[in-house]
Amino acid sequence: MAFDFETTLQKYADLIVHVGLNVRAGQKLIIRAPIQAAPLARLVTVSAYKAGARLVDVLYSDEDITLARFEHAPRDSFEEISAYRLKVLEEYAAAGDAMLSIYAENPDLLKDQDSNLVGIATKTTAKHARPYFELITKNSTNWCVVSIPIPSWAAKVFPGISPDEQMAKLWDAIFEVTRLKHDDPVALWKEHIRQLESRTDMLNNKNYTALKYRGPGTDLTIGLPEGHIWFGGDSDALNGIAFVPNIPTEEVFTLPHKDRVDGVIHSSLPLSYSGTLIENFSLTFKDGKVVGYTAEKGGDALKNLLDMDEGSSRLGEVALVPENSPIARAKIMFFNTLFDENAASHLALGRAYNFTMRGGDRMDPEQFAEVGGNSSLAHVDFMVGNDKMDIDGVLADGTVEPLMRAGNWVSPV
């Protein structure tokens, strides 16, 4: 269908409010966004008020200000933080209010900065954000992550053309993979969520004890704890609201056992982490812990991640995404985890989601660790799936059966 930009952007705002967040009357909403995202933030604000929101507030960020700190701030100041932003997020999450993150950043923003300072700043932020993330990992409220183009990111994705063309092409790609170039994207999203739920129903009925990965540079076994739950599409928050955490989303995901991961896994796409690209890397696991790694580029950033704390070198999420998903078919390297993780099966180093374990939202950290859940300041997704990856499921009786071949599901739902 033909579409115009303003109409489609309004559809995006309405999709975020009514499907992503599913804002309820009387809720507050807080939006985190880069300053370039103000036009979308304004549309979301109006849509949320029309949906009955009681108050909408926005916390803006600016990548130039972030870069200025690393270029000019005292070298001994990076363990300091203005904690008010994180306190506000914690307040909203604890109250069961809606939370939106518009995520867009220059993947090379900090590539020329001191990697040790980047690591210190990242860890400092994560330490202060722990109370907030503990609430999010228990799905205390309805939250959603979306993205829009910004010039520095668009230039990375589509080099060699004019800035206006770069932005136009990235907008077009985002509208395409978020199903907005249709008359009724909400209806399309409801059907898509139904299909993802059918896949999670199948996996939950199988109750696999492990997954086996085989592909170029990869031979890995991931144990799954008893009581793990597969999720995909929407989730139910503790405040009673069903929401879609990521737009777009193509994944189904669950909880790996933090102590039962063995073998080697090779990345299939670069990882943008703390303003640095980590490229062509592999991780070797023994008894759940990374005991070795290689990286063609960004090795210092990868080391900082693995050394953040005890849990950052263990897995907290395993997610399956077919090679024929709309984002994979787009054949675009987005350099943005929100999109790239939905183009390929992926894993996450660090913090696990309590809600992916039966009864996990009622467990304290010690109880969660006892059943195999990982705790960490970090939660970083990295992509491992491609059209040469085979994944098998291991049943309780030891039977091994094909789950994915050449990156795609063996059986339809």
Three-state SS sequence of the chain: CCCCHHHHHHHHHHHHHHHHHCCCCCCEEEEEEEHHHHHHHHHHHHHHHHCCCCEEEEEEECHHHHHHHHHHCCCCCCCCCCCHHHHHHHHHHHHCCEEEEECCCCCCCCCCCCHHHHHHHHHHHHHHHHHHHHHHCCCCCCEEEECCCCHHHHHHHCCCCCHHHHHHHHHHHHHHHCCCCCCCHHHHHHHHHHHHHHHHHHHHHHCCCEEEEEECCEEEEEECCCCECCEECEEECCCCCEECCECCCCCEEECCCCCCEEEEEECCCCEEECCEEEEEEEEEEECCEEEEEEEEECHHHHHHHHCCCHHHHCEEEEEECCCCCHHHHHCCCCCCHHHHCCCCCEEEEECCCHHHECCHHHCCHHHHHHCCCCCCCCEEEEECCCCCCEEEEECCCCCEEEEEECCEECCCC
**Model confidence band, residue 361 (pLDDT cutoffs 50, 70, 90):** confident
> Facing residues of 392 across strands?
212, 402
Spatial separation of the C-alpha atoms in residues 31 and 92, rounded to whole Å: 11
Residues of the chain with pLDDT > 90, as a percent, come to 92
pLDDT mean over 257-279:
95
Q: Do both 168 and 211 map to the same domain?
A: no
- Looking at the 3D structure of the chain, how many domains does it have? 2
Q: Do both 376 and 322 map to the same domain?
A: yes
Dihedral angle of Cα 141, 339, 220, 134, to the nearest 10 degrees: -20
Q: Do both 19 and 148 map to the same domain?
A: yes
338 is a domain residue = yes
pLDDT mean over 316-345:
93
Spatial separation of the C-alpha atoms in residues 83 and 128, rounded to whole Å: 7
Q: Do both 40 and 157 map to the same domain?
A: yes
pLDDT of residue 1: 42
Q: Do both 268 and 331 map to the same domain?
A: yes
Spatial separation of the C-alpha atoms in residues 62 and 66, rounded to whole Å: 6
> Facing residues of 346 across strands?
319, 383
pLDDT mean over 94-111:
95
Spatial separation of the C-alpha atoms in residues 289 and 62, rounded to whole Å: 36
Provide the mean pLDDT of the chain. Answer: 95
Q: Do both 371 and 299 map to the same domain?
A: yes
pLDDT of residue 247: 97
Q: Do both 13 and 88 map to the same domain?
A: yes
pLDDT mean over 298-306:
96
What are the structure tokens assigned to 394, written together?
């291991």
Residue closest to 29 by CA, chosen among 239, 256, 339, 299: 239
239 is a domain residue = no
Q: Do both 159 and 209 map to the same domain?
A: no
Q: Do both 172 and 223 map to the same domain?
A: no
Q: Do both 160 and 216 map to the same domain?
A: no
Give the residue carrying structure tokens 């085979």: 390
pLDDT mean over 49-76:
97
Is it the case that residue 3 has pLDDT exceeding 80? no
pLDDT mean over 231-243:
94
pLDDT of residue 245: 95
Instruction: Give phi and psi for 372, each to the nearest 5.
Output: 115, 0
Q: How far is CA 265 from the centre of its chain?
A: 19
Residues in the chain: 413
- Residue ending a domain, among 162, 177, 192, is 177
- What range defines the domain where residue 284 resides? 204-231+249-409
pTM here is: 0.89
188 is a domain residue = no
CB 225 within 8 A of CB 259: no
pLDDT mean over 99-107:
95
Strands 28-34 and 55-61: parallel
Q: Do both 64 and 166 map to the same domain?
A: yes
147 is a domain residue = yes
170 is a domain residue = yes
84 is a domain residue = yes
pLDDT mean over 139-155:
97
Say which CATH number the domain at 78 has. Answer: 3.40.1830.10
Half-sphere exposure of 31 (CA within 13 A, CB side): 30
pLDDT of residue 275: 86
pLDDT mean over 42-47:
98
403 is a domain residue = yes
Is it the case that residue 2 has pLDDT exceeding 70? no
Q: Do both 72 and 164 map to the same domain?
A: yes
**Model confidence band, residue 404 (pLDDT cutoffs 50, 70, 90):** very high
382 is a domain residue = yes
**Model confidence band, residue 274 (pLDDT cutoffs 50, 70, 90):** confident
